[in-house]
Amino acid sequence: MKKIQMVDLQGQYQHIKETVDASIKEVLDSSTYINGPLVHEFQADLEKYLNVKHVIPCANGTDALQIAMMGLNLEQGDEVITADFTFAATVEVIGLLKLTPVLVDVEIDSFNMDIEALKRAITSKTKAIVPVHLFGQCANMEAILEIAKEHNLFVIEDNAQAIGADYTFSNGTKMKAGTIGNVGTTSFFPSKNLGCYGDGGAIFTNDDALAHTLRGIVNHGMYTRYYHDVVGVNSRLDSIQAGVLKAKLPFLDAYCEARRTAAKFYNEAFSTNEHIITPKSSSCGDICDTCNCHVFHQYTLRITNGKRDELHKHLLAKNIPNAIYYPVPLHKQKAYVDDRYNEKDFPVTNLLIEEVISLPMHTELDNEQLAYITETILDFIS
Ligand SMILES: *Cc1c(COP(=O)(O)O)cnc(C)c1O
């Protein structure tokens, strides 16, 4: 059996080596390392793939969030609501910009922002909602858009984990995750579903004026060369990374499918074990080809018999990598603790951090590996 990895970037590269190498060589031959033609080509390809008017490439997914918030002219003291159960980047940039983060609890089955908790958190100071499509599963965008409209709030989708996912509205309309709110952001960190070979990120919007503003902010606040109209940042996707991404984008749908296939294997294996709860996958509750909501950036189980930590160690001893995403809720992180929070408001996040465990999930898992992983888990949790 091939050695099992949490993410197999080497195996994936071997399948696309020729295309990726040719793309990188094109950059080397042209020596246009910054703002080269491949950056613009990748941008256009991604706009087409996502069916969005504007993609603004930038240096990483954290910058993408920060720049999106800068572009919306949010001001010190404005409240920005996001989920308590996510990677810290989301709340980090809110703090950096001196906005006020407001963390809310998540849903037990989707791990995404709880709509009732969101409603309770809205005050007269609230300016924006940042839903995170956690682990590759879209947040309840239909409800979030309705609430945003009612209270006149911006919606910034943190789509770092769900690029390629389709969100289906109740009337059947489909949109790509990240293109639904006022603005969406993503990360091309190597292990993300569309990863480059270094750091990279992008911002998406259908708003022409906002896109113009964002293009200036990523480039030192310049709209005309050497005329700086606003305080900006230096945040660029370099040409080599754009070359890698342009080569990989045509494979994204197949990569999502490979992840869903592995997830189906896991789901079926665990379906009858009463202590293992498999991830909810779409609005219809299954890995459904018509909803296609989940792109399984992570495959995350809940272990409900109290043995999650033992399982974590047992699997490592059996050479099965696994991870606890995330071990501490953001409202308990030293950097983000605040008197405003009340433990009673976070029952779900507090439970999830005790129960969740993420299994190997990538595009190269084979059935022999999946059988070994599932059998090892089922032997231990019976
Ligand atoms: C990875 C990630 C980010 C940050 O992306 P970087 O490119 O690493 O800066 C932001 N939000 C979420 C939810 C992420 O998973």
Which of the four pLDDT bands, split at 50, 70 and 90, describes residue 287? low
Is 86 touching ligand 1 by the criterion CB < 6 Å? yes
Q: Are strands 222-224 and 227-228 parallel, antiparallel or unpaired?
A: antiparallel
Is 87 touching ligand 1 by the criterion CB < 6 Å? yes
For the chain, give every domain's residue range.
9-104+112-250, 252-380
Of the candidates 119, 149, 176, 192, the residue annotated as catalytic is: 192
Instruction: Report the separation in Å between the CA atom of 325 and the middle of ligand 1, taken as the mean of its atom positions.
Output: 13
> pTM of the prediction?
0.96
Place of tokens 């409900």: 304
Which of the four pLDDT bands, split at 50, 70 and 90, describes residue 290? low
Angle ∠(325,329,332) on CA atoms, nearest 5: 145
Q: Is 13 exposed, middle or buried (0-12, 13-18, 19+ CB in 10 A)?
A: middle
Residue-wise pLDDT for 156-203, tens only, equals 999 999 999 999 898 889 999 999 999 999 999 999 999 999 999 999
The residue among 44, 50, 140, 122 whose CA lies nearest residue 79 is 122
Which whole number is the average pLDDT over 110-114? 95
Q: Is 192 a catalytic residue?
A: yes
Superfamily in which the 252-380 domain is placed by CATH: Aspartate Aminotransferase, domain 1 (3.90.1150.10)
* Residue of 158, 197, 295 best suited for mutating to test ligand 1, as the one with most atoms within 8 Å of CB: 158
Establish whether domains 9-104+112-250 and 252-380 are of one fold: no
Query: Is the C-alpha dihedral spanning 280, 284, 287, 289 positive or negative?
Result: negative
Place of tokens 């949490």: 6
* Residue of 189, 300, 325 best suited for mutating to test ligand 1, as the one with most atoms within 8 Å of CB: 189
Q: What is the CATH number assigned to the segment(s) 9-104+112-250?
A: 3.40.640.10
CA distance linking residue 304 with residue 310, whole number of Å:
12
Could you give the strand order of the β-sheet that contains 356-359, starting from the edge strand earlier in sequence?
Answer: 276-277, 299-303, 356-359
Q: Which pLDDT value is given to residue 289?
A: 59
Percent of the chain whose predicted confidence (pLDDT) is above 70: 97
Place of tokens 């272990």: 303
Phi, psi of 317 (to 5 degrees): -65, -30
Is 161 touching ligand 1 by the criterion CB < 6 Å? yes
